[in-house]
Chain A
Protein backbone atom coordinates (compact mmCIF):
# COMPACT_ATOMS: atom_id res chain seq x y z
CA UNK A 1 0.00 0.00 0.00
CA UNK A 2 1.12 3.55 -0.69
CA UNK A 3 1.94 5.68 2.34
CA UNK A 4 2.84 9.34 2.39
CA UNK A 5 4.90 10.54 5.34
CA UNK A 6 6.43 13.84 6.32
CA UNK A 7 9.84 12.33 7.03
CA UNK A 8 12.35 14.68 8.63
CA UNK A 9 10.58 17.64 7.07
CA UNK A 10 10.36 16.16 3.58
CA UNK A 11 7.21 14.66 2.02
CA UNK A 12 8.06 11.10 1.04
CA UNK A 13 6.04 8.26 -0.46
CA UNK A 14 6.65 4.55 -0.33
CA UNK A 15 4.85 1.40 -1.36
CA UNK A 16 4.93 -0.74 1.79
CA UNK A 17 3.67 -4.18 2.72
CA UNK A 18 0.53 -3.50 4.82
CA UNK A 19 1.87 -5.54 7.75
CA UNK A 20 5.23 -3.77 7.84
CA UNK A 21 6.36 -1.77 10.84
CA UNK A 22 7.37 1.85 10.53
CA UNK A 23 10.90 0.71 11.39
CA UNK A 24 10.98 -1.68 8.44
CA UNK A 25 9.54 1.02 6.15
CA UNK A 26 12.12 3.56 7.32
CA UNK A 27 15.07 1.26 6.81
CA UNK A 28 14.05 -0.76 3.77
CA UNK A 29 11.58 1.41 1.86
CA UNK A 30 12.74 4.94 2.67
CA UNK A 31 16.44 4.02 3.01
CA UNK A 32 16.79 5.95 6.26
CA UNK A 33 18.84 3.59 8.42
CA UNK A 34 19.74 5.56 11.55
CA UNK A 35 17.00 3.87 13.55
CA UNK A 36 18.33 0.45 14.47
CA UNK A 37 16.50 -2.85 14.39
CA UNK A 38 17.30 -5.02 17.39
CA UNK A 39 14.44 -6.51 19.37
CA UNK A 40 11.33 -5.78 17.25
CA UNK A 41 9.22 -5.86 20.42
CA UNK A 42 9.62 -2.42 21.99
CA UNK A 43 12.08 -3.60 24.62
CA UNK A 44 15.34 -1.99 23.52
CA UNK A 45 14.50 1.50 22.24
CA UNK A 46 17.10 1.33 19.45
CA UNK A 47 14.44 2.37 16.93
CA UNK A 48 13.19 5.40 18.91
CA UNK A 49 11.73 8.09 16.64
CA UNK A 50 9.19 10.87 16.95
CA UNK A 51 5.70 10.29 15.56
CA UNK A 52 3.79 13.58 15.48
CA UNK A 53 6.23 14.78 18.16
CA UNK A 54 5.82 11.79 20.50
CA UNK A 55 8.75 9.52 21.30
CA UNK A 56 7.83 6.01 20.12
CA UNK A 57 9.42 2.72 19.11
CA UNK A 58 9.20 2.60 15.32
CA UNK A 59 9.01 -1.21 15.48
CA UNK A 60 5.64 -0.97 17.28
CA UNK A 61 4.04 1.43 14.81
CA UNK A 62 2.37 -0.07 11.77
CA UNK A 63 3.85 1.76 8.78
CA UNK A 64 0.30 2.50 7.62
CA UNK A 65 -0.33 4.30 10.91
CA UNK A 66 2.33 6.84 9.91
CA UNK A 67 0.46 7.68 6.68
CA UNK A 68 -0.03 11.45 6.50
CA UNK A 69 1.83 11.95 9.74
CA UNK A 70 5.10 13.51 10.74
CA UNK A 71 8.02 11.24 11.53
CA UNK A 72 11.38 12.51 12.75
CA UNK A 73 14.33 10.16 13.07
CA UNK A 74 17.81 10.55 14.50
CA UNK A 75 18.88 11.90 11.10
CA UNK A 76 16.83 15.04 11.81
CA UNK A 77 19.19 15.90 14.66
CA UNK A 78 22.37 16.26 12.65
CA UNK A 79 23.62 19.48 11.22
CA UNK A 80 22.84 21.85 14.06
CA UNK A 81 26.11 21.76 16.03
CA UNK A 82 29.84 21.89 15.28
CA UNK A 83 30.89 19.28 12.71
CA UNK A 84 27.25 18.76 11.94
CA UNK A 85 26.49 17.04 15.22
CA UNK A 86 23.63 17.72 17.57
CA UNK A 87 24.65 18.82 21.10
CA UNK A 88 23.37 15.52 22.49
CA UNK A 89 25.56 13.63 20.02
CA UNK A 90 28.55 15.79 20.95
CA UNK A 91 27.93 15.12 24.64
CA UNK A 92 27.82 11.35 23.97
CA UNK A 93 31.19 11.56 22.18
CA UNK A 94 32.82 13.68 24.85
CA UNK A 95 31.56 11.59 27.75
CA UNK A 96 32.57 8.31 26.09
CA UNK A 97 28.94 7.15 26.15
CA UNK A 98 29.37 5.22 22.91
CA UNK A 99 30.95 1.79 22.65
CA UNK A 100 29.55 -0.52 19.99
CA UNK A 101 27.15 2.27 19.01
CA UNK A 102 24.13 0.18 18.18
CA UNK A 103 21.92 1.67 20.92
CA UNK A 104 23.28 5.18 20.39
CA UNK A 105 20.78 6.53 17.81
CA UNK A 106 17.84 5.49 19.99
CA UNK A 107 19.43 6.88 23.12
CA UNK A 108 20.31 10.18 21.42
CA UNK A 109 16.68 10.56 20.31
CA UNK A 110 15.38 9.66 23.79
CA UNK A 111 17.77 12.12 25.48
CA UNK A 112 16.88 14.91 23.04
CA UNK A 113 13.20 14.22 23.76
CA UNK A 114 13.81 14.30 27.52
CA UNK A 115 15.71 17.60 27.40
CA UNK A 116 13.02 19.17 25.22
CA UNK A 117 10.48 18.42 27.96
CA UNK A 118 12.72 18.87 31.01
CA UNK A 119 15.95 20.88 30.57
CA UNK A 120 17.13 20.15 34.14
CA UNK A 121 16.18 16.54 34.81
CA UNK A 122 17.04 14.91 38.14
CA UNK A 123 19.02 11.69 38.02
CA UNK A 124 15.84 9.74 38.79
CA UNK A 125 14.05 11.51 35.93
CA UNK A 126 16.88 10.65 33.53
CA UNK A 127 16.83 7.00 34.58
CA UNK A 128 13.07 6.83 34.12
CA UNK A 129 13.22 8.64 30.77
CA UNK A 130 15.84 6.20 29.48
CA UNK A 131 14.22 3.09 30.98
CA UNK A 132 13.06 2.00 27.53
CA UNK A 133 16.56 2.08 25.99
CA UNK A 134 18.94 -0.80 26.54
CA UNK A 135 22.73 -0.61 26.24
CA UNK A 136 24.74 -3.80 26.68
CA UNK A 137 28.20 -2.17 26.60
CA UNK A 138 28.54 0.95 28.69
CA UNK A 139 26.91 0.05 31.99
CA UNK A 140 24.98 3.31 31.55
CA UNK A 141 27.14 5.53 33.80
CA UNK A 142 28.79 7.32 30.88
CA UNK A 143 25.39 7.74 29.28
CA UNK A 144 24.24 9.43 32.51
CA UNK A 145 27.35 11.67 32.31
CA UNK A 146 26.50 12.52 28.69
CA UNK A 147 22.97 13.54 29.66
CA UNK A 148 24.30 15.83 32.41
CA UNK A 149 26.72 17.41 29.95
CA UNK A 150 24.05 17.86 27.29
CA UNK A 151 21.64 19.34 29.84
CA UNK A 152 24.30 21.80 30.99
CA UNK A 153 24.96 22.91 27.41
CA UNK A 154 21.27 23.24 26.71
CA UNK A 155 20.79 25.47 29.74
CA UNK A 156 23.72 27.65 28.63
CA UNK A 157 22.85 28.00 24.98
CA UNK A 158 19.31 26.67 24.53
CA UNK A 159 20.20 25.02 21.20
Chain B
Protein backbone atom coordinates (compact mmCIF):
# COMPACT_ATOMS: atom_id res chain seq x y z
CA UNK B 1 0.00 0.00 0.00
CA UNK B 2 1.20 3.48 -0.85
CA UNK B 3 -0.04 7.01 -0.17
CA UNK B 4 0.78 9.74 -2.67
CA UNK B 5 0.96 13.27 -1.28
CA UNK B 6 0.85 15.73 -4.19
CA UNK B 7 1.88 19.33 -3.52
CA UNK B 8 -0.59 20.89 -5.90
CA UNK B 9 -3.52 20.14 -8.17
CA UNK B 10 -1.42 19.82 -11.32
CA UNK B 11 0.80 17.21 -9.68
CA UNK B 12 -2.27 15.41 -8.29
CA UNK B 13 -3.82 15.16 -11.76
CA UNK B 14 -0.57 13.93 -13.29
CA UNK B 15 -0.21 11.27 -10.63
CA UNK B 16 -3.86 10.26 -11.07
CA UNK B 17 -3.15 9.76 -14.79
CA UNK B 18 -0.11 7.63 -13.90
CA UNK B 19 -2.04 5.68 -11.24
CA UNK B 20 -5.64 5.49 -12.45
CA UNK B 21 -6.34 2.93 -9.71
CA UNK B 22 -5.39 5.42 -6.98
CA UNK B 23 -8.25 6.15 -4.59
CA UNK B 24 -8.50 9.84 -3.70
CA UNK B 25 -8.90 10.56 0.01
CA UNK B 26 -10.14 13.94 1.26
CA UNK B 27 -11.78 14.13 4.70
CA UNK B 28 -11.68 10.36 5.09
CA UNK B 29 -15.03 10.22 6.87
CA UNK B 30 -16.21 7.33 4.66
CA UNK B 31 -12.98 5.81 3.38
CA UNK B 32 -11.23 5.56 6.74
CA UNK B 33 -14.09 3.51 8.17
CA UNK B 34 -13.56 0.94 5.41
CA UNK B 35 -9.82 0.99 6.02
CA UNK B 36 -10.15 0.71 9.80
CA UNK B 37 -12.43 -2.31 9.48
CA UNK B 38 -10.29 -3.80 6.71
CA UNK B 39 -13.20 -3.78 4.27
CA UNK B 40 -11.00 -2.27 1.61
CA UNK B 41 -7.28 -1.91 1.14
CA UNK B 42 -6.50 0.21 -1.93
CA UNK B 43 -3.02 -0.31 -3.33
CA UNK B 44 -2.56 3.40 -3.90
CA UNK B 45 -4.26 6.34 -2.23
CA UNK B 46 -3.85 9.96 -3.16
CA UNK B 47 -4.24 12.64 -0.49
CA UNK B 48 -6.30 15.48 -1.97
CA UNK B 49 -6.97 17.11 1.42
CA UNK B 50 -4.14 19.60 1.12
CA UNK B 51 -4.80 20.83 -2.42
CA UNK B 52 -5.41 24.53 -1.81
CA UNK B 53 -6.89 24.89 -5.33
CA UNK B 54 -9.82 22.73 -4.19
CA UNK B 55 -10.26 24.17 -0.67
CA UNK B 56 -12.14 27.14 -1.95
CA UNK B 57 -15.39 28.58 -3.28
CA UNK B 58 -16.16 31.50 -5.55
CA UNK B 59 -18.95 33.36 -7.27
CA UNK B 60 -18.81 34.23 -10.96
CA UNK B 61 -21.69 35.92 -12.83
CA UNK B 62 -24.40 34.49 -10.60
CA UNK B 63 -22.75 31.06 -10.59
CA UNK B 64 -21.53 29.52 -7.39
CA UNK B 65 -18.50 27.21 -7.57
CA UNK B 66 -17.81 24.99 -4.57
CA UNK B 67 -14.33 23.46 -4.55
CA UNK B 68 -14.28 19.73 -3.89
CA UNK B 69 -12.24 20.27 -0.71
CA UNK B 70 -14.72 22.65 0.88
CA UNK B 71 -15.67 21.21 4.28
CA UNK B 72 -19.20 21.28 5.65
CA UNK B 73 -18.01 23.55 8.48
CA UNK B 74 -16.78 26.11 5.96
CA UNK B 75 -19.91 25.83 3.80
CA UNK B 76 -21.99 26.41 6.93
CA UNK B 77 -20.03 29.44 8.13
CA UNK B 78 -18.93 31.05 4.88
CA UNK B 79 -22.06 30.55 2.77
CA UNK B 80 -25.00 31.06 5.15
CA UNK B 81 -26.93 32.83 2.38
CA UNK B 82 -26.98 29.53 0.45
CA UNK B 83 -29.63 28.39 2.87
CA UNK B 84 -30.29 24.87 1.66
CA UNK B 85 -26.56 24.15 1.44
CA UNK B 86 -26.00 25.56 4.93
CA UNK B 87 -28.90 23.55 6.36
CA UNK B 88 -27.68 20.38 4.67
CA UNK B 89 -24.12 21.00 5.89
CA UNK B 90 -25.31 21.51 9.44
CA UNK B 91 -27.17 18.20 9.37
CA UNK B 92 -24.00 16.25 8.53
CA UNK B 93 -22.43 14.20 11.34
CA UNK B 94 -20.95 16.18 14.22
CA UNK B 95 -18.51 19.11 14.45
CA UNK B 96 -15.61 16.67 14.09
CA UNK B 97 -17.14 15.17 10.94
CA UNK B 98 -18.11 18.55 9.46
CA UNK B 99 -14.54 19.79 9.99
CA UNK B 100 -13.24 17.01 7.74
CA UNK B 101 -16.02 15.88 5.41
CA UNK B 102 -16.07 17.66 2.07
CA UNK B 103 -18.53 18.40 -0.72
CA UNK B 104 -16.22 16.57 -3.13
CA UNK B 105 -16.20 13.52 -0.89
CA UNK B 106 -20.00 13.43 -0.98
CA UNK B 107 -19.89 13.49 -4.79
CA UNK B 108 -17.11 10.91 -5.06
CA UNK B 109 -18.76 8.51 -2.62
CA UNK B 110 -22.04 8.99 -4.54
CA UNK B 111 -24.13 7.56 -1.74
CA UNK B 112 -27.87 8.00 -2.37
CA UNK B 113 -27.99 9.35 1.21
CA UNK B 114 -25.35 12.07 0.73
CA UNK B 115 -26.71 15.29 2.23
CA UNK B 116 -25.10 17.74 -0.22
CA UNK B 117 -26.41 15.84 -3.23
CA UNK B 118 -30.11 16.87 -3.09
CA UNK B 119 -28.92 20.48 -2.85
CA UNK B 120 -26.83 20.07 -6.02
CA UNK B 121 -29.66 18.29 -7.82
CA UNK B 122 -32.37 20.78 -6.82
CA UNK B 123 -30.16 23.56 -8.23
CA UNK B 124 -29.75 21.68 -11.53
CA UNK B 125 -26.06 21.72 -10.68
CA UNK B 126 -23.00 20.28 -12.37
CA UNK B 127 -19.98 18.39 -11.16
CA UNK B 128 -16.66 19.71 -12.48
CA UNK B 129 -14.04 17.04 -13.22
CA UNK B 130 -10.39 17.59 -14.06
CA UNK B 131 -7.65 15.54 -15.70
CA UNK B 132 -3.99 16.13 -16.49
CA UNK B 133 -3.19 18.48 -19.36
CA UNK B 134 -5.71 21.15 -18.32
CA UNK B 135 -8.65 18.99 -19.32
CA UNK B 136 -11.82 19.80 -17.43
CA UNK B 137 -15.42 18.88 -18.08
CA UNK B 138 -18.73 19.59 -16.40
CA UNK B 139 -21.26 16.80 -15.95
CA UNK B 140 -24.83 17.61 -15.00
CA UNK B 141 -26.19 16.06 -11.80
CA UNK B 142 -28.44 13.63 -13.67
CA UNK B 143 -25.54 12.27 -15.72
CA UNK B 144 -23.02 12.16 -12.88
CA UNK B 145 -24.76 9.82 -10.45
CA UNK B 146 -25.19 6.41 -12.05
CA UNK B 147 -26.31 4.28 -9.10
CA UNK B 148 -25.55 3.58 -5.46
CA UNK B 149 -21.89 4.58 -4.95
CA UNK B 150 -21.34 4.79 -8.71
CA UNK B 151 -20.59 7.95 -10.64
CA UNK B 152 -19.42 9.01 -14.10
CA UNK B 153 -15.80 9.87 -13.21
CA UNK B 154 -13.13 8.50 -15.54
CA UNK B 155 -10.20 6.73 -13.83
CA UNK B 156 -7.79 9.56 -14.67
CA UNK B 157 -10.06 12.26 -13.29
CA UNK B 158 -10.41 14.02 -9.94
CA UNK B 159 -13.44 15.98 -8.77
CA UNK B 160 -12.64 19.69 -8.85
CA UNK B 161 -15.97 20.83 -7.44
CA UNK B 162 -19.64 21.50 -8.02
CA UNK B 163 -21.34 24.51 -9.52
CA UNK B 164 -24.80 25.89 -10.00
CA UNK B 165 -26.66 29.06 -10.74
CA UNK B 166 -27.97 30.95 -7.73
CA UNK B 167 -31.76 30.80 -7.58
CA UNK B 168 -33.72 33.81 -6.31
CA UNK B 169 -36.42 32.57 -3.96
CA UNK B 170 -37.02 30.42 -0.90
CA UNK B 171 -35.18 27.14 -0.44
CA UNK B 172 -34.76 24.56 2.28
CA UNK B 173 -33.15 21.24 3.14
CA UNK B 174 -34.78 18.83 5.56
CA UNK B 175 -33.84 15.39 6.79
CA UNK B 176 -35.37 12.56 8.77
CA UNK B 177 -33.15 10.55 11.09
CA UNK B 178 -33.14 9.07 14.56
CA UNK B 179 -31.39 12.02 16.20
CA UNK B 180 -30.25 15.53 15.30
CA UNK B 181 -26.61 14.56 14.88
CA UNK B 182 -24.55 11.68 13.57
CA UNK B 183 -27.25 10.23 11.37
CA UNK B 184 -27.32 9.03 7.83
CA UNK B 185 -30.63 10.22 6.39
CA UNK B 186 -33.63 7.90 6.38
CA UNK B 187 -34.92 10.42 3.86
CA UNK B 188 -33.80 13.93 2.96
CA UNK B 189 -35.24 16.57 0.68
CA UNK B 190 -34.19 19.85 -0.89
CA UNK B 191 -36.73 22.26 -2.31
CA UNK B 192 -35.65 25.28 -4.38
CA UNK B 193 -38.17 27.81 -5.61
CA UNK B 194 -36.87 29.88 -8.51
CA UNK B 195 -38.79 33.16 -8.82
CA UNK B 196 -37.14 34.10 -12.11
CA UNK B 197 -37.99 30.95 -14.05
CA UNK B 198 -41.17 30.41 -11.99
CA UNK B 199 -40.23 26.83 -11.24
CA UNK B 200 -40.15 24.67 -8.16
CA UNK B 201 -37.47 21.99 -7.99
CA UNK B 202 -37.42 19.19 -5.46
CA UNK B 203 -34.78 16.49 -4.91
CA UNK B 204 -35.11 13.47 -2.62
CA UNK B 205 -32.30 11.49 -1.04
CA UNK B 206 -31.99 8.07 0.57
CA UNK B 207 -35.21 6.87 -1.09
CA UNK B 208 -33.82 5.42 -4.33
CA UNK B 209 -30.61 4.17 -5.98
CA UNK B 210 -29.53 7.78 -6.53
CA UNK B 211 -30.93 11.10 -5.38
CA UNK B 212 -34.16 11.64 -7.36
CA UNK B 213 -36.02 14.61 -8.74
CA UNK B 214 -39.79 14.56 -9.04
CA UNK B 215 -40.58 16.35 -12.28
CA UNK B 216 -44.27 15.59 -12.02
CA UNK B 217 -44.48 17.18 -8.58
CA UNK B 218 -42.36 20.12 -9.74
CA UNK B 219 -44.66 20.86 -12.69
CA UNK B 220 -47.71 20.41 -10.46
CA UNK B 221 -46.40 22.97 -7.92
CA UNK B 222 -45.48 25.52 -10.59
CA UNK B 223 -48.95 25.21 -12.12
CA UNK B 224 -50.64 25.41 -8.74
CA UNK B 225 -48.83 28.67 -8.01
CA UNK B 226 -49.88 29.98 -11.44
CA UNK B 227 -53.53 28.99 -10.91
CA UNK B 228 -53.58 30.73 -7.55
CA UNK B 229 -51.82 33.79 -8.99
CA UNK B 230 -49.14 33.30 -6.37
CA UNK B 231 -46.13 33.87 -8.63
CA UNK B 232 -47.25 37.52 -8.98
CA UNK B 233 -48.88 37.88 -5.59
CA UNK B 234 -47.07 35.90 -2.87
CA UNK B 235 -49.98 36.47 -0.47
CA UNK B 236 -52.40 34.59 -2.75
CA UNK B 237 -52.98 31.34 -0.85
CA UNK B 238 -52.71 27.88 -2.37
CA UNK B 239 -55.65 25.58 -1.67
CA UNK B 240 -54.71 22.82 0.82
CA UNK B 241 -55.54 20.24 -1.85
CA UNK B 242 -52.65 21.59 -3.96
CA UNK B 243 -50.21 21.26 -1.05
CA UNK B 244 -51.41 17.70 -0.54
CA UNK B 245 -51.27 17.00 -4.28
CA UNK B 246 -47.66 18.18 -4.37
CA UNK B 247 -46.68 16.09 -1.34
CA UNK B 248 -48.42 13.04 -2.80
CA UNK B 249 -46.59 13.36 -6.10
CA UNK B 250 -43.20 13.82 -4.40
CA UNK B 251 -43.84 10.71 -2.35
CA UNK B 252 -44.89 8.86 -5.51
CA UNK B 253 -41.52 9.60 -7.13
CA UNK B 254 -39.61 7.82 -4.36
CA UNK B 255 -38.45 4.25 -5.01
CA UNK B 256 -37.29 3.31 -1.52
CA UNK B 257 -36.22 -0.02 -0.10
CA UNK B 258 -36.42 -1.55 3.37
CA UNK B 259 -33.05 -1.38 5.10
CA UNK B 260 -31.51 -1.01 8.55
CA UNK B 261 -32.42 2.68 8.69
CA UNK B 262 -36.10 2.42 7.78
CA UNK B 263 -38.79 0.69 5.79
CA UNK B 264 -39.87 1.64 2.29
CA UNK B 265 -43.33 2.51 3.59
CA UNK B 266 -41.98 4.81 6.27
CA UNK B 267 -39.70 6.49 3.75
CA UNK B 268 -42.60 7.20 1.36
CA UNK B 269 -44.51 8.69 4.27
CA UNK B 270 -41.45 10.75 5.28
CA UNK B 271 -41.16 12.13 1.72
CA UNK B 272 -44.80 13.19 1.80
CA UNK B 273 -44.37 14.99 5.13
CA UNK B 274 -41.05 16.64 4.18
CA UNK B 275 -42.43 17.79 0.80
CA UNK B 276 -45.56 19.29 2.32
CA UNK B 277 -43.56 21.11 4.95
CA UNK B 278 -40.92 22.35 2.50
CA UNK B 279 -43.53 23.85 0.18
CA UNK B 280 -45.43 25.41 3.12
CA UNK B 281 -42.21 26.99 4.45
CA UNK B 282 -41.40 28.38 1.00
CA UNK B 283 -44.87 29.89 0.61
CA UNK B 284 -44.79 31.35 4.13
CA UNK B 285 -41.37 32.86 3.48
CA UNK B 286 -42.66 34.57 0.33
CA UNK B 287 -45.61 36.02 2.26
CA UNK B 288 -43.29 37.29 5.01
CA UNK B 289 -40.93 38.86 2.46
CA UNK B 290 -43.80 40.54 0.62
CA UNK B 291 -45.04 42.01 3.90
CA UNK B 292 -41.57 43.37 4.69
CA UNK B 293 -41.32 44.95 1.25
- In the complex, A15 Cα to B50 Cα: how many Å? 21
Q: Does B95 contact A (CB under 8 A)?
A: yes
Residue among B32, B37, B47, B50 facing the most chain A CB atoms (10 A cut-off): B32
Select one of B32, B41, B47, B96 contacting A55, CB under 8 A.
B96
- In the complex, A133 Cα to B100 Cα: how many Å? 16
Interface on B for A, CB 8 Å cutoff? Answer: 1-3, 5, 25, 27-29, 32-33, 35-37, 41, 45, 47, 49-50, 73, 93-97, 99-100, 180-182
Q: Does A132 contact B (CB under 8 A)?
A: yes
Q: Which residue of B lies closest to A61 (CB)?
A: B28
Q: Does A60 contact B (CB under 8 A)?
A: yes
The answer to whether A59 and B36 touch across the interface, beta carbons within 8 angstroms, is yes
Q: Which residues of A contact B1 (CB under 8 A)?
A: 17-19
Q: Which residues of A contact B41 (CB under 8 A)?
A: 19
Q: Which residues of A contact B99 (CB under 8 A)?
A: 54-56
Select one of A19, A55, A67, A133 contacting B35, CB under 8 A.
A19
The answer to whether A42 and B96 touch across the interface, beta carbons within 8 angstroms, is yes
Q: Does A57 contact B (CB under 8 A)?
A: yes
Name A1-56 residues within 8 Å CB distance of B.
1, 17-19, 21, 40-43, 45, 48, 54-56
The answer to whether B33 and A41 touch across the interface, beta carbons within 8 angstroms, is yes
Select one of B37, B47, B94 contacting A62, CB under 8 A.
B47
Q: Given A17-B1, A18-B2, do A61 and B94 touch, yes or no (CB 8 Å)? A: no
Q: Does A65 contact B (CB under 8 A)?
A: yes
B97 CB to nearest A CB, Å:
6
Select one of A40, A45, A62, A67 contacting B96, CB under 8 A.
A45
B41 CB to nearest A CB, Å:
6
Q: Given A19-B41, A42-B97, A57-B96, do A65 and B28 touch, yes or no (CB 8 Å)? A: yes
The answer to whether A42 and B35 touch across the interface, beta carbons within 8 angstroms, is no
Q: Given A17-B1, A57-B96, A110-B95, do A62 and B181 touch, yes or no (CB 8 Å)? A: no
Q: Which 7 A-B pairs have the closest CB atoms?
A: A132-B94, A131-B181, A64-B3, A40-B36, A60-B32, A54-B99, A41-B33
Q: Given A42-B93, A131-B181, do A60 and B5 touch, yes or no (CB 8 Å)? A: no
- In the complex, A133 Cα to B182 Cα: how many Å? 10
Q: Which residue of A lies closest to B90 (CB)?
A: A128
B90 CB to nearest A CB, Å:
9
